[in-house]
Chain A
Amino acid sequence: MARAPLLHDRLVGAISDETEPDRTAASFRSSEENCSIPTDQSGFTRSEPLAGRFRHIGIRTSASLALVAGIALLTIAGLARSAFADEPPTVAAAADLQFALTEVAAAFAAETGLEVKLAFGSSGNFARQIRQGAPFEMYLSADESYVLELSRDGFTRDDGVLYAIGRIVVIVPDGSPLEPDGTLRDLRAALADGRVQKFAIANPEHAPYGRRAEEALRHAGLWEAIEDRLVLGENVAQAAQFATSGSTAGGIIAYSLALSPKVSARGRFEPIPEAWHAPLRQRMVLLENAGATAGRFFAFVQAPRARAVMRRYGFVLPGEGS
């Protein structure tokens, strides 16, 4: 190993004898210092704010986050519970009552100071939701069979009362190639010569007005011809939307909707003979969990003031005349 120390010394000597690199180092340093603009005191940020305190807790990350989530969830649930205390009751109403019932509810509020919340949709949909526990307190169906089934299955207080006999009309928007012909003869001709590409009705699966529209079309012998040109609304109000939007040639919708100013402004209509379809017996009922306000509203709808409004929209009871 005699040589080894010599070699080592040589290396050490080599390093300390570096004059060239020294100068390089010095110049490097000085160029660095030129670059180092003295930072102002704001460069010295405060040391970590809360970390010191947390060091002693030692809860594992996962557990803490789970805790936060759990607390949040319970808060929500608690809030929801307390919020429900004095809410106005929700009334589920068939879509054809869109305008009529809104007016009735306004009159109710004016007279009693009590509010009701209105939800409009297809009768069949509501019936299903009620079975699933939807918190409605009153239900107005365009087809009484839904009400009677619910009553039979124990979701309602009783069988309810008839509030109207519904009618269907054929409506055509302004600019449509169709004529508003209640006998549907024009429709037959239009189907033959290709004037009709799209025609709107409510979905017969769960909307009573749709089912009646289908029955009427079958009665007139037009169903096969028109079936694949149908545009189905999720409820009769959406069907009215489609029918009057101008993107269809027209449609079959509820009389009550056609009577409202907003809809009648967009097109012309004519009623379809009642004999062409099963009657639209429309029934309303209080549901099992109905409260006092709902009860009062139920009575109000049957009172003369409300009946007048309903008649204006074509909701007539047998014997009342249209």
Chain B
Amino acid sequence: MDWTALRLSLQLGSFTVLLLLPVGIWAGRRLAYRDFRGKGVVEALVALPLVLPPTVFGYYLLVGFGAASPIGQVWHSLFGRPLVFTFEGLLVASVIFNLPFAIQPMQRGFEAIPREVREAAACCGMSPWQALRRIELPLAWPGILTAMVLGFAHTLGEFGIVLMVGGSIPGETRTIAIAIYDRVQAFDDLAAAQMSALLLAISLVTIALTYGLSRRVGRRLG
């Protein structure tokens, strides 16, 4: 049982979700409320990571953020470490790759709020910020929570990108999914079995939570 890898995975999941929370709320809300030219394109782009093979994404990340790239070099000079093969690099990749898991449930959550309810909030004298805090977020909260739970679980399981961009460095980028792979190669079946069972349990809990929460969306607005 590789506790460092587990800790790393939990950290990666938590930070990803933390960063995606404001991004998801902002983007999900905008997409839910507005119709604009090119909205279809934006939604397709957001959904892209759902169908994009992780290795393709990993490849483009390496090309775009690697040591030879402008972004990579700027990052290196700013922070003294490369963007790839580091936890921060994984975090950047994870945030981008989890965009659809964050944005889509949140968008659904906001879409479920009837337009007239939002308008009623404005007619009650609430500024857009107040309406967001007191009316929209409470009503969209199950969608937001679903997004966070899905994003967390998905990050825990992410493998291809982590391998390509992270490099399986223990304590830095060797997440628990990579560690399982590593233990199998090392013929350490016991550790691999333990960690796999743990991830399975986490996945089951995630699914149960997600389904329970999506039922609550209906009840809240019913």
- Using CB atoms and an 8 Å cutoff, list the residues of chain A in contact with chain B: 48, 50-51, 54-55, 57-62, 64-66, 68-69, 72-73, 76-77, 80-81, 84, 87-88, 90, 95, 98-99, 117-121, 129, 131-136, 235, 237-238, 240-241, 260, 262-263
Contacts and interface: CB of A to CB of B under 8 A. Distances in A.
A95 B185 CA distance: 9
Contacts of A68: 22
A241 B187 contact: yes
A76 B171 contact: no
Name the residue in B15, B18, B85, B188 with the highest tally of chain A Cβ atoms < 10 Å from its Cβ.
B85
Interface in B134-168: 134, 167-168
Interface of B: 15, 18-19, 22-23, 25-26, 62, 66-68, 72, 76, 79-82, 84-88, 91, 127-130, 132-134, 167-172, 174, 182, 184-188
B133 A54 contact: yes
A117 B72 contact: no
Contacts of A76: 15, 19, 88, 91
A54 B68 CA distance: 46
Given A68-B22, A90-B172, A133-B76, A54 B82 contact: no
A200 B99 CA distance: 38
Contacts, number: 117
24 contacts: A48-B134, A51-B130, A51-B133, A54-B129, A54-B130, A60-B129, A61-B26, A72-B15, A73-B19, A80-B86, A80-B88, A81-B81, A84-B81, A119-B168, A119-B174, A132-B68, A132-B84, A133-B67, A133-B76, A134-B167, A135-B172, A235-B185, A238-B185, A241-B185
A60 B168 contact: no
A235 B163 CA distance: 14
Contacts of B81: 80-81, 84, 135
A121 B173 CA distance: 14
A271 to B, nearest CB: 20
A69 B22 contact: yes
A264 B171 CA distance: 30
A262 B128 CA distance: 64
